[in-house]
A and B are shown apart, each in its own frame.
Chain A
Amino acid sequence: MSQTLLASITVFVLAVFLGFELISRVPTLLHTPLMSGTNAIHGIILVGAMLIAGSADSDLEKVLAFVAVVFGTINVVGGFLVTDRMLEMFKRKPAERDE
């Protein structure tokens, strides 16, 4: 096994544990925004799409990479904006009639 692969696996295993720990105590109220927020975070796939698009050789790769960049960008931009819209609603609530 190469050092690079081992390092990748190490990062992967630690991130699995971290992912579980991070949200172990989340109220039901936040299930949807949290799903939406993590949905935006896997938009990190855009980084992969950029790397492919920037070094594509053949036309087929260029087309695939272009669509991948479009998809990844929609995931990131749409994901974070929709999550923010959801959470904005939560924030406004105690505004006027909090006793």
Chain B
Amino acid sequence: MTLAISQTNINFAYLVASVCLIIGIKRLSSPATARSGNVIAAVGMGIAIAFTFLDPDIDTYWIILAGMAVGTVIGIASARMVKMTAIPQMVALFNGVGGGAAALIAAAEFHRLTPESGHVLPEWMGAMLFSAMIGSISFSGSLVAFAKLQELLPGSPIVFRGQQLVNGLLFAGLLGAGVAAGATEAGIWAVVLLLGALLFGVLLVLPIGGADMPVVISLLNAFTGLAAASAGFVLENTALIIGGTLVGASGTLLTVLMGRAMNRSLANVLFGAFGAPAPAAAGGPAASADGKSYREVTAEDAAVMLAYASRVVVVPGYGLAVAQAQHNVRELADLLEQRGVDVKYAIHPVAGRMPGHMNVLLAEANVPYPQLYDMEDVNPEFPRTDVALIIGANDVTNPAARDDPESPLYGMPILNVDQSANVVVLKRSMSPGFAGIDNDLFYRPNTTMLFGDAKSSVEKLVAAVKAA
């Protein structure tokens, strides 16, 4: 039994779906329309999927329905249950499975087409192999990115001697395997290509530090888009070509924009500073302890400092996100404002684990939007700030990024919190941040440390400010 309708009608539906995807992306790039943009894109996707069911080439439905049932359960469960702090790694994971799907489609098509040796059109062969390779790289690369963000793997770069040479040779080998697979149409070469590409994806992402992970995920996102478009060439399916290419192109641009927000080029992210550890980092955390000392502060003292300040800038970071302290921070800010303190929030473009991460969390706690300041707007404020309150942020405040050309962070724009009269750092311990680099800020004379979980520390500050 089939439900088939004509290919022309299906292609018309694909056109409608493509228009929805395009309008969706357009609306996603403006804050006021973003949410509806996502819904419109989802509707477009629904149309494309629904009409694909009617394709005359489809004669068995149970595999599709079973696969969709399993995928829907996993997709809903993982999207619903994930905490806001873990969303970046979920994006990585969803991207990875998309790439994996493209690679699997290419593998299945290769298997279906190659027995009739000599009949595979060269453009199909090329597109299939490209899709298999890029899809696999995206799959394994995304899984490594996921593991790093989930802290299953260390967030700091994993490097070994001659890594770039190995990667270069492996990539050349991939191209060789691709040519061999295309020329001989032998399945073994296709398997070599798939496995080699999986390995390449792992090696590509391993040396990249945690702070650069958003840029990498965005790049892999663009890869998956291209893999999907490529699969569209093989299947002669316009919905796939349009959807995949839109993501490939916009994803590439987005990757460049994200890199620019961090003042780093894409080549620099992939092969640059974070990939080669600076001499200081090689010594490990112990190197930081020698000769440098820091000052601890009690919650009561810090609260007095805050309560009698006239200007306070709050710098939220990943520690705030992990501790889910956003509501307490707002309570603290409200208390200070009632006392006439001017409170601003300084949002570094990559504070937390991803651009926009902090805005999302603070919005959830109903922090008034006008109090959120971007890095460029708030940096001139620090010299006239009485207290900079740093809650679980680290690398984005490290003055070494500005002053020390030896530092692996050098060149990344930072929040100039060290220019404030006083800096209070809320932190669990003296351990280095996600990039694995010690922060000189903590040892400065105007800096004091308040150790503990961000949430309980802020709760203590709230109580102490009430009493002050």
* Chain A positions near chain B (C-beta within 8 angstroms): 2, 4-5, 8, 11-12, 15-20, 22-58, 60-62, 64-99
Chain B residues lying within 8 Å of A8, measured Cβ to Cβ, are: 232-233, 236, 238, 241
Question: Is the beta-carbon distance between A55 and B74 smaller than 8 angstroms?
Answer: no
Shortest distance from the beta carbon of B32 to any chain A beta carbon, whole Å: 9
Q: B367 within 8 Å of A by Cβ?
A: yes
What are the interface flags for B47-70 relative to A under an 8 Å C-beta threshold, 1 for contact and 0 otherwise? Answer: 011001101011111011011101
Q: B30 within 8 Å of A by Cβ?
A: yes
* CB-CB under 8 A for A55 and B243, given A20-B250, A43-B98: no
* CB-CB under 8 A for A54 and B101, given A37-B41, A47-B49: no
Q: Tell me the bound Cα distance from A54 to B55 in angstroms.
A: 9
Question: Is the beta-carbon distance between B82 and A47 smaller than 8 angstroms?
Answer: no
* Chain B positions near chain A (C-beta within 8 angstroms): 21-22, 24-26, 28-31, 34-35, 37-39, 41-42, 45, 48-49, 52-53, 55, 57-61, 63-64, 66-68, 70-72, 74-76, 78-80, 82, 84, 87-88, 90-91, 93-95, 97-98, 100-102, 104-105, 107-109, 111-112, 121, 123, 214, 217-218, 221, 224-225, 227-229, 231-233, 235-254, 257-258, 261, 349, 354-357, 359-361, 363-364, 366-370, 374
A-B residue pairs, 3 tightest by C-beta: A73-B71, A19-B249, A54-B58
Question: Is the beta-carbon distance between A95 and B232 smaller than 8 angstroms?
Answer: no
- Chain B's interface: helix, strand, loop or mixed, by majority? helix
Chain A residues lying within 8 Å of B354, measured Cβ to Cβ, are: 31-32
26 A/B residue pairs, CB under 8 Å, sorted by A: A11-B241, A11-B242, A19-B249, A22-B250, A23-B25, A31-B261, A31-B354, A34-B29, A39-B221, A42-B247, A44-B45, A44-B48, A45-B224, A45-B240, A48-B101, A56-B60, A73-B71, A75-B95, A77-B76, A78-B74, A78-B76, A81-B76, A81-B79, A81-B80, A92-B364, A92-B366
Chain B residues lying within 8 Å of A51, measured Cβ to Cβ, are: 52, 55, 57-58, 235, 237
Question: Is the beta-carbon distance between B76 and A48 smaller than 8 angstroms?
Answer: no
* CB-CB under 8 A for A30 and B34, given A23-B29, A44-B45, A81-B79: yes
* CB-CB under 8 A for A31 and B102, given A70-B74, A89-B363, A95-B366: no
Q: Which one of A15, A42, A48, A52 contacts B221 once the chains associate, using CB atoms below 8 Å? A: A42
Question: Is the beta-carbon distance between B57 and A54 smaller than 8 angstroms?
Answer: yes
Question: Is the beta-carbon distance between B25 and A44 smaller than 8 angstroms?
Answer: no
Question: Is the beta-carbon distance between A72 and B98 smaller than 8 angstroms?
Answer: yes
Q: Tell me the bound Cα distance from A70 to B105 in angstroms.
A: 12
Chain B residues lying within 8 Å of A29, measured Cβ to Cβ, are: 31, 355-356, 359
Chain B residues lying within 8 Å of A87, measured Cβ to Cβ, are: 34-35, 38
* CB-CB under 8 A for A99 and B368, given A44-B240, A48-B240: yes
Q: Which one of B90, B218, B237, B364 contacts A48 once the chains associate, using CB atoms below 8 Å? A: B237
Q: Tell me the bound Cα distance from A99 to B247 in angstroms.
A: 38
Q: Tell me the bound Cα distance from A25 to B28 in angstroms.
A: 11
